[in-house]
Amino acid sequence: MSSKVLDKFLKENLNDLKEKGLYNVIDPLESANGPIIKIGGKELINLSSNNYLGLATNEELIKACNEATTKYGVGAGAVRTINGTLDIHIKLEEKLASFKHTESAIVFQSGFNCNAGAIQAVMDKNDAILSDELNHASIIDGCRLSRAKIIRYNHSDMNDLRQKAKEAKESGLYNKIMIITDGVFSMDGDIAKLPEIVKIAEEFDLITYVDDAHGSGVLGKGSGTVKHFGLSDKVDFQIGTLSKAIGVVGGYVAGKKDLIDWLKVRARPFLFSTSLTPGSAAACIKAIDILTESTALHDKLWENGNYLKKGLRELGFNIGNSETPITPCIIGDESKTQEFSKRLYEEGVYAKSIVFPTVPKGTGRVRNMPTAAHTKEILDKALSIYEKVGKDLGIL
Ligand SMILES: *Cc1c(COP(=O)(O)O)cnc(C)c1O
């Protein structure tokens, strides 16, 4: 028999969400996550994935994955520290270190796990963490797990950061202080002000931690936000994911050898959760090879991003101040935003609405993630649908 307390809790809260229109129904895809997807038998232009470079369906990655699966099997069989470290895991880490221009790197099962493991491996209750208010949920959880004092600063507000770093330092309350930020913020597509952050870190002796999930493969000719600013030797932790631009699954921390050695003995998801599958590791290696050999996919992504932005702007939409291919189309009102996304869907564009509390009240938006795999033809079709729906709803 199930718990009555639990039953009541679930029923009440699910009903509450449904009444408020906040219950998210998940649409299962009946196709690969490419530029065109199939949902409920209907083909849609996909502007919602994080598959920036189209690598999720790349033939070379699929081949590498299949070959590794044939050689090593479908699962790694154990956590890394028992006997789940395959030679391809090591090879992937070496590739990532050179891709990121760091001494060393460690691979986790996801970007989320990196943050769940790396922060608490070095920070504890006698420390403090300065955290951008718009940081990703996994950073927030990672900070909480460390039990360090969390000091939020206003989004990309360098005066606020400097003031709070100064106060924390001068209070004498903390052994270590860390500054932690997304490299690229996923809701607006803006880039963290890393040169200023590094300067403040040097002034107050802060540990620097940049989660570049949305910047890797996109900025710095693919190497990420830290490289984009030429700060590879100035940032202690560079976090990346293998599930967005790289197109597979997994995450990594790149940094000095001592840091990575420490994470290998202290990061809990590394120690207590089975390693990346062999197929995934091999596909990631192939992806890094492709990105290292040529910037063609990266260039195509930017070309498509700029094309979509220009098109939406010319139609008269508010696309915010994105500095990356992430293209928000800001509608404002929450229910109008949801209506807009629903109408796009009916007309054949899959672009999700993002509203409060994920973004501030009154800044509801439909977020577009163009990729290198989109063609001009597909983007033109999407733009014509945007125009139609924008006019239908009185936005244009
Ligand atoms: C997506 C994202 C993650 C999570 O990465 P996964 O590999 O999907 O777990 C972590 N941090 C940031 C900033 C992200 O955008």
Q: How many domains does the chain have?
A: 2
Active site residue 186: yes
Do 261 and 305 lie in one domain? The reply is no
The pLDDT of residue 377 is 98
- Which residue among 108, 241, 248, 284 has the greatest number of ligand 1 atoms within 8 angstroms of its CB, and so is best to mutate? 241
The pLDDT of residue 23 is 85
Q: Could you tell me the distance, in angstroms and rounded to a whole number, from the CA of residue 1 to the centre of ligand 1?
A: 37
- Which residues of the chain are under the pLDDT cut of 70? none
Active site residue 244: yes
Per annotation, catalytic residue among 244, 286, 298, 309: 244
Q: Which atom of ligand 1 is nearest to the CA of 136?
A: 13
| Residue 2 covered by a domain | no
Do 287 and 157 lie in one domain? The reply is yes
Per annotation, catalytic residue among 48, 49, 146, 186: 186
Do 321 and 276 lie in one domain? The reply is no
Q: Could you tell me the distance, in angstroms and rounded to a whole number, from the CA of residue 185 to the centre of ligand 1?
A: 11
Do 289 and 301 lie in one domain? The reply is no
Do 82 and 40 lie in one domain? The reply is no
The pLDDT of residue 147 is 98
Instruction: Return the sign of the alpha-carbon dihedral for residues 223, 228, 234, 239.
Output: negative
Do 249 and 343 lie in one domain? The reply is no
For 28-93, the three-class secondary structure string (H helix, E strand, C coil) is CCCCCCCCEEEECCEEEEECCCCCCCCHHHCHHHHHHHHHHHHHHCCCCCCEHHHHHCCHHHHHHH
- For ligand 1, atom 6, the nearest C-alpha belongs to 111
User: Domain of 327: which CATH number?
Assistant: 3.90.1150.10
| CA separation, residue 218 to residues 214, 308, 371 (Å) | 7, 16, 10
Q: Could you tell me the distance, in angstroms and rounded to a whole number, from the CA of residue 172 to the centre of ligand 1?
A: 33
The reply to whether the predicted model has a pTM over 0.85 is yes
Q: Residues 105, 260: contact at Cβ < 8 Å?
A: yes
Q: Could you tell me the distance, in angstroms and rounded to a whole number, from the CA of residue 71 to the centre of ligand 1?
A: 29
- Which residue among 138, 185, 252 has the greatest number of ligand 1 atoms within 8 angstroms of its CB, and so is best to mutate? 138
Q: Could you tell me the distance, in angstroms and rounded to a whole number, from the CA of residue 212 to the centre of ligand 1?
A: 8
Do 231 and 332 lie in one domain? The reply is no
Boundaries of domain holding 305: 11-55+295-393
Burial of 144 per CB tally in 10 Å (0-12, 13-18, 19+): middle
The pLDDT of residue 20 is 81
Which residues have CB under 6 Å of ligand 1?
Answer: 110-112, 136, 138, 182, 186, 211, 213-214, 241, 243, 251
- For ligand 1, atom 2, the nearest C-alpha belongs to 213
Residue that is last in its domain, among 252, 273, 293? 293
Residue that is last in its domain, among 248, 270, 293? 293
Q: Could you tell me the distance, in angstroms and rounded to a whole number, from the CA of residue 136 to the centre of ligand 1?
A: 7
Active site residue 3: no
Do 158 and 266 lie in one domain? The reply is yes
| Residue 77 covered by a domain | yes
The pLDDT of residue 24 is 84
| Residue 3 covered by a domain | no
Do 167 and 122 lie in one domain? The reply is yes
Residue that is last in its domain, among 293, 324, 339? 293
Do 203 and 305 lie in one domain? The reply is no
The pLDDT of residue 356 is 86
Do 286 and 309 lie in one domain? The reply is no
Joined together, the tokens standing for residue 137 give 């949920």
- Which residue among 243, 252, 354, 369 has the greatest number of ligand 1 atoms within 8 angstroms of its CB, and so is best to mutate? 243
